[in-house]
Structure 1
Amino acid sequence: RRRRRTGTTREIALDAGPASLTVTLGFGHSFFGRTGLEKQRPEALAPLPQFSSDHLDANRGNGDLWVQIGADDALVAFHALNALQKDARGTARVRWQMNGFNRSPGATASPRTARNLMGQLDGTGNPQESDKDFAQRVFVAPGDGPAWMANGSYVVMRRIRMLLDDWEGLGLAEQEHVIGRRKSTGAPLTGGGERTEPKLDATDKSGDLVIPLNAHARITRPDQNGGAAMLRRPFSYHDGIDADGVPDAGLLFLCWQADPLRGFVPVQRKLDRGDALSEYIRHEASGLYAVPGGAAKGEYVGQALLEG
């Protein structure tokens, strides 16, 4: 007979503070079919198109529900995960799980743009909250789609493996030409600092473009993609060494936008056609989720969808 488990698993982080804990919930395309809510499924939640660079594992993507747990303390994050899994038992089960990390708070004298496992600053071109069109690009406006998604956002998840042995075989100048920015500061190759606007038409003494046509930083710019923009919030991951003796490591790419068809999709299509970085990365998992706006006091996330 199976013995009933008891104990104090909910006291894992008993002596810890909040540690900036956040729990974010999103609904996948398949959720609406399972629950009979097809009429409430947003058009923007249509499955992402296939891209030529995809090498996707169907068992590690999509899903009915997406839960992201973040905290400054890994123990607090695990405690939250453990509590959610216990509460969901009998209703939902884990289909896949990925663990990511970023630079720890206090690791630098002042907050800085995070670096990825290639050593590059990651997120320099993000839209800023001070931008006049920030909310328009990131959040769903009331009336644009089903009412329950008002002030929500769509998140695209991609597990992007970095072929680090190949990347580290390049010299510094070669790496910088692939990205189009200085590795040390994140500044464009045309000069200035991290936030300096690149001079895309600048040429060197030989007449060649300083920032190559296929440089990652050039291709991903909104003004090179009809204004398409998304808010990147990625994490690095390292899942050990594979059977070939190379690191299974890279980026858990997360980007937020008001509409993935006007954010992620056009940019990824452009990257698919000629990004110099594509030779050193491999997209291995993918997902798209609708994240409703925050819950007011006394409400729960998604209440307008489930009870509306």
Structure 2
Amino acid sequence: MADQSTSEASEASPEGIPSQKTPGHPTAKSSPRGAAARGSSKRTAPIKSTPEEAASGSALPQGVISRRRLLGTAGATGLALGAAGGAAGYAAAPSEKSTPLTSLGTDRAMFHGKHQPGITEALQARGHLAAFDLAPGAGRKEAAALLRRWSAIAERLMAGEAAPHDDTGVARDAGPSALTITFGFGNSFFSRTGLEKQRPSALDPLPDFSSDRLDKSRSDGDLWVQIGADDALVAFHALRAIQKDAGGAARLRWQMNGFNRSPGATAHPMTARNLMGQIDGTRNPKPADPDFDRRIFVPASGDPAWMANGSYAVVRRIRMLLDDWEKLSLQAQEAVIGRRKSDGAPLSGGTETTAMDLEKSGADGTPVVPLNAHARITRPDRNGGAAMLRRPFSFHDGFDADGTPDAGLLFICWQADPLRGFVPVQRKLDRGDALSPYIRHEASGLFAVPGGAAEGEYVGQRLLEG
């Protein structure tokens, strides 16, 4: 798990994944301001609702109050942003002095764009994964209405605003907090909606692996939702809004909660550590790499057309057998991974980013990096160039009756084609990874994640209305 995962959400990343504070990145800093000032600034256009949705109450209500405005987070800086928009808004909500949001709360990702949010953004501190199955009798029409509603919710919540209707108020005193909401389709979605001819071949079920101990009730699903944020309440607020607005169209199949280190928790930007204490993410593909898009995203000319600029997400719940792992000596742990635990440098020497010397031998003539070390086996150059962008969350779901921790990694990897990304690497790991005795794959899913929605569109519109 060490060499292919993503970097920590921090001000800068040694792996090259842009942080929430990087100018020009889809995640941009949003200055603290009220609803009126926000209306006068540049932002994406709202998703239009159908007459049926308006009648059913799922359309966006006019004049919905921002969750930040409810707590008066806009002060004089908000008033200065736009006189025209401010005059109407502050007539209804008198201005009052308040402490502006911190930089952590104002970080904002954009809903509309070439790609969906939640793929190239830096790791967030809190995450929720959920899968839904369409309800009996629900088909393409109901799925389209659901994705339209969910897209409207995502657009508003990611902007730091209240849910379109029946907002719970859980996050009313917080800003966007780098919230991202991502949607995908499982293999079964296409038969449920009569869209079998549009099912991508890359979405064929993953092969069985010898290390699998899969719980089918926590695997797969018609629809997949990934939620991430730098504030736990903001993330839960989004999860609850999505779950509530599924209505009668879809039913929750499974849901998992995860976390990462909070941005700013370390003295300087660092690659994240997993629950084994290992630096995890050194060799993640970088958006600056010339072949990054080719490896991670479906090309604009790809097949099927509705997946243009999309990606495929493999999701695995990997339990770490921490009691067994922690019995190993430091030297034994480093031999399993192939890297120093202290700083992530390869056992062949150098720093974290130094290229691993696979030919270097010790005084006894054996390779310094063991032949079955995890970092050696997962190297792209040892797997036909196979690469995937890993963006995981750690999880801890309590303890078993004997005190064994139910903890590990919510593994999420992104690639243009899982048959060339995840599958060959996992097959090789299956045949002799030194890490295998200390982990167990307990749930699995593969989802087609379409490209981002243009302004006025909803996610998946090109599939459902094409």
Match of 2:45 in 1: none
Q: Secondary structure at the match of 1:161?
A: strand
Offset from partner CA, 1:22-46 (integer Å, 9 cap, x none): 0000000000010000011000000
Offset from partner CA, 1:164-217 (integer Å, 9 cap, x none): 000000000000000000001111001111111000000001100000000000
Q: Secondary structure at the match of 2:253?
A: coil
Does 2:167 correspond to 1:167? no
Taking structure 1 as the reference length, the TM-score comes to 0.96
Match of 2:354 in 1: 196
Offset from partner CA, 1:100-153 (integer Å, 9 cap, x none): 000011101232211100001111111111111111000001232200100000
Question: What is the rounded CA distance, in whole Å, between the counterparts of 2:384 and 2:424 in structure 1?
Answer: 9
* CA shift for structure 1 position 87: 1.2
Match of 1:179 in 2: 337
Does 2:113 correspond to 1:113? no
Aligned equivalent of 2:390, options 209, 225, 232: 232
Q: Secondary structure at the match of 2:168?
A: helix
Check conservation: 1:43, 1:145, Cα contact below 8 A.
no
* Superposition map of 1:2-13 within 5 A: 9-13=167-171
Consecutive unaligned residues of structure 2, counting only runs of 5 or more, are: 1-164
Match of 2:187 in 1: 29
Question: What is the rounded CA distance, in whole Å, between the counterparts of 1:37 and 1:77 in structure 2?
Answer: 32
Match of 1:3 in 2: none
Does 2:380 correspond to 1:255? no
* CA shift for structure 1 position 65: 0.4
Segment drifting more, 77-86 vs 200-209: 77-86
The letter for the 1-side match of 2:418 is P
The letter for the 1-side match of 2:332 is E
The percent identity for this pair of structures is: 75
Match of 1:58 in 2: 216
Aligned equivalent of 1:152, options 298, 301, 310: 310
Q: Secondary structure at the match of 1:204?
A: coil
Match of 2:4 in 1: none
Q: How many residues align?
A: 302
Q: Secondary structure at the match of 1:77?
A: helix
Does 2:358 correspond to 1:208? no
Match of 1:4 in 2: none
Question: What is the rounded CA distance, in whole Å, between the counterparts of 2:286 and 2:176 in structure 1?
Answer: 26
The letter for the 2-side match of 1:241 is F
Match of 2:225 in 1: 67
Match of 1:217 in 2: 375
Question: What is the rounded CA distance, in whole Å, between the counterparts of 1:259 and 1:158 in structure 2?
Answer: 17
Q: Which has the larger radius of gyration?
A: 2
Choose between structure 1 and 2 for higher RCO, CA contacts under 8 A separated by at least 6 residues. Answer: 1
The letter for the 1-side match of 2:312 is Y
Q: Secondary structure at the match of 2:381?
A: helix
* CA shift for structure 1 position 82: 1.1
Question: What is the rounded CA distance, in whole Å, between the counterparts of 2:449 and 2:432 in structure 1?
Answer: 31
Question: What is the rounded CA distance, in whole Å, between the counterparts of 1:250 and 1:86 in structure 2?
Answer: 28
Q: Which runs of 4+ in 1 moved over 3 A?
A: none
Segment drifting more, 86-95 vs 271-280: 86-95
* CA shift for structure 1 position 83: 1.0
* CA shift for structure 1 position 8: 6.0
Match of 2:402 in 1: 244
The letter for the 1-side match of 2:260 is N
Q: Secondary structure at the match of 2:217?
A: helix
The letter for the 2-side match of 1:131 is D
Check conservation: 1:158, 1:253, Cα contact below 8 A.
yes
Segment drifting more, 103-112 vs 48-57: 103-112
Match of 1:81 in 2: 239
The letter for the 2-side match of 1:114 is A
Q: CA RMSD in A?
A: 1.0
Consecutive unaligned residues of structure 1, counting only runs of 5 or more, are: 1-6
* CA shift for structure 1 position 9: 4.7
Q: Secondary structure at the match of 1:100?
A: strand
CA change 1:8–1:30 in 2 (3 A) is closer
* CA shift for structure 1 position 230: 0.3
Offset from partner CA, 1:224-256 (integer Å, 9 cap, x none): 101101001011000000122200000000000
Match of 2:290 in 1: 132
Q: Secondary structure at the match of 1:99?
A: strand
